Amino acid sequence: MNSNQDNAIITVSGLTRKFNGLIAVDSISFNVSKGEIFAFLGPNGAGKSTTIKMLTTLLEPTAGAITMNGNDPRKNKDAVRKSFGIVFQDPSLDDDLTAIENMQYHAVLYQVPKNVKDKRIEELLKFVELWERRKDLVKTFSGGMKRRLEVARGLLHHPRILFLDEPTLGLDPQTRNHIWSYIKEINQKEQMTVFFTTHYMEEAEKVAHRVAVIDRGKIIAIGSPDELKAQTKTESLEDAFLNLTGHKIREEEVTGLDIMRAHTRMWRH
Ligand code: ADP
């Protein structure tokens, strides 16, 4: 898939964010095409979260321009917010509500029309195989079930773009494959664009149409996994990443806190 400007759903040009003296994001430019699965990869502190926050209206850029589904987040915040769904790294479900109550609450927040709401909730809970468990409290769910529910919730208002920040962190390989199979299916069925971060390089290599590598606030490479491997004369995306940044993503990304969270999730299993 190419990054043809006419087909772009996200365009970013000269995007910059400074925090006092620090340049967290340093004049980056890229496009994401409609229906593309786009991976945004970089070592810890590279500027990934800051970029995602600017794209999703949570943070004002210092300079540069963004278009999200035809809108400028600075001028049309509401339209931009309706155009995307987001699954954050930290679970944001209400543990004391049931699966279906979490979905209904989100539907109200996003003003999903009453006449389509129940049908869409049923369709999505069936899609992530949680319909049978819809009346159970979320606190009884495993880590993988919670993540599936978050994906379903992120899709409730028919977003054109889905942001996923480390969607599979701390999950076992089988559950990770499961999550990606839902995401790939919805990407194909609804032509939904997916923008994600991960430190599992083999996942990015398998699912991403294109990858951008960001390091110290700058995009240092962009292309399909095959293009990045050819450019660096390496055999895997993990080696391409190492060649480009001089770091292994896992050592950089997995902090003590992440490991603790992953263990807590397994414990709840
Ligand atoms: P990543 O998501 O790739 O780990 P971030 O976007 O979180 O990186 O951070 C990029 C840089 O900006 C880091 O040096 C980080 O310390 C700094 N940074 C991020 N948010 C803030 C903030 N609110 N105030 C000051 N510095 C920040």
* Atom number of ligand 1 nearest to Cα 214: 3
Is pTM beyond 0.85? Reply is yes
**Residue type at 53?**
K
* Atom number of ligand 1 nearest to Cα 25: 10
Distance of CA 255 to the CA centre of its chain: 19
Query: Measured in Å, how far apart are the chain's first and last C-alpha atoms?
Result: 38
Residue nearest to atom 26 of ligand 1 (CA): 19
Residue nearest to atom 27 of ligand 1 (CA): 19
Residue nearest to atom 5 of ligand 1 (CA): 47
Give the list of residues 6+ apart from residue 1 with CB closer than 8 angstroms, or none: 33, 35, 36, 209, 210, 224
Instruction: Using CB atoms within 10 Å of the CB of residue 84, give its burial: 0 to 12 exposed, 13 to 18 middle, 19+ buried.
Output: buried
* Atom number of ligand 1 nearest to Cα 49: 2
**Is there an atom of ligand 1 within 6 Å of 44 CB?**
yes
Q: What is the dihedral of CA 203, 147, 160, 114, to 10 degrees?
A: 160
Ligand 1 geometric centre to CA of 118 (Å)? 39
Spell out the per-residue pLDDT of the chain, length 269, in tens: 444 557 999 999 999 999 998 999 999 999 999 999 999 999 989 999 999 999 999 999 999 999 999 999 989 999 999 999 999 877 789 999 999 999 999 999 888 998 899 999 999 999 999 999 999 999 999 999 999 999 999 999 999 999 999 888 888 888 889 889 999 999 999 899 999 999 899 999 999 999 999 999 999 999 999 999 999 999 999 999 999 988 766 554 455 555 555 445 444 43
**Is there an atom of ligand 1 within 6 Å of 59 CB?**
no
**Domains in the chain, CATH or no CATH each:** 34-52+82-268 (3.40.50.300)
Ligand 1 geometric centre to CA of 11 (Å)? 22
Residue nearest to atom 15 of ligand 1 (CA): 45
